[in-house]
Chains A and B, each alone.
Chain A
Amino acid sequence: MTLTFTHPPTATPEDSAAHERTDPGCSPMIQVEQLDKVFEGGFQALKNVSLEIQRGEIFALLGPNGAGKTTLISVICGLARASSGRVKVDGHDTVADYRQARAMIGLVPQELTNEAFTTVWDTVSFSRGLFGKPKNPAHIENVLRALTLWEKRNNRLLTLSGGMKRRVLIAKALAHEPKVLFLDEPTAGVDVELRREMWEVVRQLRDQGVTIILTTHYIEEAEEMADRIGVILRGELVLVKEKAALMRQLGRKELTLHLDHALEQVPAALAGHDLALTEEGHALVYTYDVTRQEQGTGIAGLLADLEATGIRVKDLHTRQSSLEEIFVNLVREKT
């Protein structure tokens, strides 16, 4: 089932998400400027956060528990007030022009918060009306079908499973055809199959030009979905990068060489290379940094030295660090 908005946020193919993402003339969809949030009691949840999110991109906000991800989303969506700084959504200030700014946003909260006694259809229709949109049963049907909720439309929410409730929250957020969708831990507690279905829905939305901001604990999710990654630690945005560039720059690569004959130790002639002996001497693992590519990865030299020492290689493969490893290293480094 393909999810389509009755009134697509991007009206023409020329305005497609890909076009917008690559058009340097486009203003950002979300601008966060020097945002601070200090809660009563003095806890500073956000420290001078500045961030721009481009139209039509999927932006993943990563960070450990309590880092400030949800607080940042709450301030942008109007659920919490900023102590200083400001936020604009499509050029509209979220305080001065809150109506225009909020009308563009759909929010899927982290917690499964539902009115237990209402039906799926009623609660999703309620969300549309709440955002000031006239009734549009065709759109609601479209959203429910896309999220495989159509068969459950007359069910009361208390009868649904956790995964279904999560889908209902997404359907509610999509009911008013938002241009920006915030997904706060969208797949927490959701099984693998449903998670992949949700990723597909998110991609479809992105393809229609919806800007998506997601927070997640599943790094795999960010790796799979995001165009850009932001990392927030103790209220500070410590990194914002294109995912591909991040993985290229921070990712370490490993070259594993499977040997014909086992070695007892790394030969002295190879001491100049960053090598480790594994698999009981049957494999050599060479670790290198892709950021040093301009100086050469050293692979050619290593292979030449292996040839010179008479070590025969029967197979080899390379592996790049996952985003999870990058994230864990980054957190460790900064804390």
Chain B
Amino acid sequence: MNLQSVKTIYLAEMARSLRTVLQSIVSPVVSTSLYFVVFGAAIGSRISEVDGVSYGAFIVPGLIMLMLLTQSVSTASFGIFFPRFSGSIYEILSAPISYLEIVLGFVGAAATKSMILGLIVLGTARLFVPFTIQYPLVMLLFLVLTALTFSLLGFIIGIWADGFEKLQLVPLLVVTPLTFLGGTFYSIDMLPPFWQTVTLLNPVVYLVSGFRWSFYGTGDVSIWASVFMIMAFLGVSLAVVNWIFKTGYRLKP
């Protein structure tokens, strides 16, 4: 393992986030705070409790998950897309490093950044509503696995995209809608039976539910179903990345 190279890519990617600190860190924190103002204080004041917790506290795990998913995808996709777009990818592809090391550098940095953001959002949320975390280790496990998995998804999108439009396509048209419809702001029990069944087809439901379970010990689906889904996502993402490097898809003619 060429750890020096992995570290170099990792630190360069982290430095990129720091260079754009306003866009990378401040902006997500501001938008999350706005969610709390609108959904927690304004709308939430009209909803008593969901699954035994106050609505403000109920949406905390969902909001962190929303941040985690969108930031993981956008950071990782841009991280690998930009060198492809600028042409500087030549240096990475001609360096004495394995594909695994390239992925570790880029995905590791994207996952780290989104986890840091997730924790910042957690801290920000604590300023608005009181809540406790019943299973902190499970919470951290979900945080890490989700950040890794969706950073891998972002990496795949960054390689697949051949322009800025495609780069935005999946995050905007797939990830964000699935997250909003994945029980971020509501329990699926609140939906009519038909839509409850449809919602179960949304993979993000399992992530939000599992993450919420680590906070309050309750979720829309069983914790094991959530663990299975996140592991399945991770497996599929790893398989696709492996295929990309084996075939040289959009990287090596």
Contacts and interface: CB of A to CB of B under 8 A. Distances in A.
Interface of A: 39-40, 74, 77-81, 98-103, 105, 107, 109, 111, 113-118, 122, 126-127, 129-134, 172
Contacts of A78: 93-94
B165 interface: no
Contact of B92 (A109, A122, A130): A130
Contacts, number: 76
A130 B2 CA distance: 9
A129 B97 CA distance: 11
A98 B93 CA distance: 11
A131 B96 contact: yes
A40 to B, nearest CB: 7
B2 A172 contact: no
Given A79-B90, A80-B252, A133-B4, A115 B96 contact: no
B220 to A, nearest CB: 43
16 contacts: A79-B90, A81-B252, A81-B253, A100-B96, A103-B96, A107-B90, A109-B87, A111-B87, A113-B88, A114-B86, A117-B16, A129-B11, A132-B4, A132-B96, A134-B4, A172-B91
Given A115-B88, A129-B4, A129-B5, A105 B94 contact: yes
Given A39-B253, A79-B252, A130 B86 contact: no
A226 to B, nearest CB: 23
B83 interface: yes
Interface string B13-43: 0011001000000000000000000000000
B82 interface: yes
Contacts of A127: 91
Q: Which 10 residue pairs are nearest across A and B when measured between Cβ atoms?
A: A129-B8, A113-B87, A102-B96, A99-B96, A103-B96, A77-B94, A132-B4, A113-B88, A130-B95, A132-B2
Contacts of B252: 79-81
Given A74-B253, A172-B91, 4 more contacts: A115-B83, A118-B12, A129-B4, A129-B11
Contacts of B193: none
A132 B94 contact: no
Contact of A132 (B93, B97, B248): B97
Contacts of B97: 99, 130, 132
A39 B90 CA distance: 18
A122 B86 CA distance: 17
Nearest to B20: A117
Nearest to A116: B86
B82 A115 contact: yes
A185 to B, nearest CB: 14
Nearest to B248: A81
Contacts of B4: 129, 132-134
A117 B93 contact: no
Contacts of A77: 94
A80 B253 contact: yes
B54 to A, nearest CB: 44
A100 B8 CA distance: 19
Nearest to B89: A113
